Amino acid sequence: MAVGVFDSGLGGLTVLDAVAQKLPDVPFAYYADSAHAPYGVRDADDIYDKTTKAVERLWEAGCDLVILACNTASAAALRRMQESWIPSDKRVLGVFVPLIEALTERQWGDNSPPREVAVEHVALFATPATVRSRAFQRELAFRAIGVDVEAQACGGLVDAIEEGDMILAEALVRSHVDALMRKMPVPEAAILGCTHYPLMRDTFQDALGAGVKLYSQADLVAASLEDYLKRHPAMIGPGQDSLFLTTGDPAKVSRHATQFLKRQITFEAA
């Protein structure tokens, strides 16, 4: 009855923590491709190859449903995976859908013409690969009109968070926010378009100002997954145990994961 959660590193733990609180009886298998993080500087084919390998490992662990708790993988690989790779008895879902639904206040299956939404000026903070993909802008344009999106590629931020260097991470957040606000001085909303970034949520909010509404994906994905599993209970896989897998150094990854979640997390080699 397990569900898989994948991220290039530890950022997806923000999603895992939220979904585990929402679904306490479901065991989750988490896969961190820490040896190859960050994905945000890789090309689309490389991201696709590494993402499919990780998803296959989670299928082996008994997870018929896998959440890509990684915006870069969702942006650069998911559409290709869904079109030609995923077998009919498996599902792989990304983190964009709940975010787009929240921002546009309409369900994903609503195919009515694009319409005006509550916000006009949106800041997007994401990895370089996510920004290059323009996946967020593309999906938003299907559903909303009149929304100006200014994207800021946050180079170096994931590396700093993965290394546990929060002083550097805070400096980078403030630098990237300053760069974006030179292009869009008064955003109404800001998207934390990487699952690592909620670990720096307070710094983003402070740098942006209290009047900017922050959208981060963990709680949105958790609510969406709960609803999905109510409608598709058969997609809960046969796996029985919660586990944490990493391609990196298990001791180092466990130490940083424990620091992030403020509870003991023990990874094993993938």
The catalytic residue positions are: 70, 194
Residue with tokens 């990237």, as numbered in its chain: 176
How far apart (Å, rounded) are the C-alpha atoms in residues 53 and 56?
5
Task: Confirm if 12 and 39 have CB atoms less than 8 A apart.
Answer: no
How far apart (Å, rounded) are the C-alpha atoms in residues 172 and 125?
12
**Residue 171 structure tokens:** 């400096």
How far apart (Å, rounded) are the C-alpha atoms in residues 104 and 97?
11
Helical spans, DSSP H, in 23-162: 44-60, 71-76, 78-84, 96-104, 128-133, 135-141, 157-162
How far apart (Å, rounded) are the C-alpha atoms in residues 43 and 67?
21
Task: Confirm if 94 and 74 have CB atoms less than 8 A apart.
Answer: yes
How far apart (Å, rounded) are the C-alpha atoms in residues 258 and 145?
42
Q: How many CA atoms lie within 13 A of 55 on its CB side?
A: 27
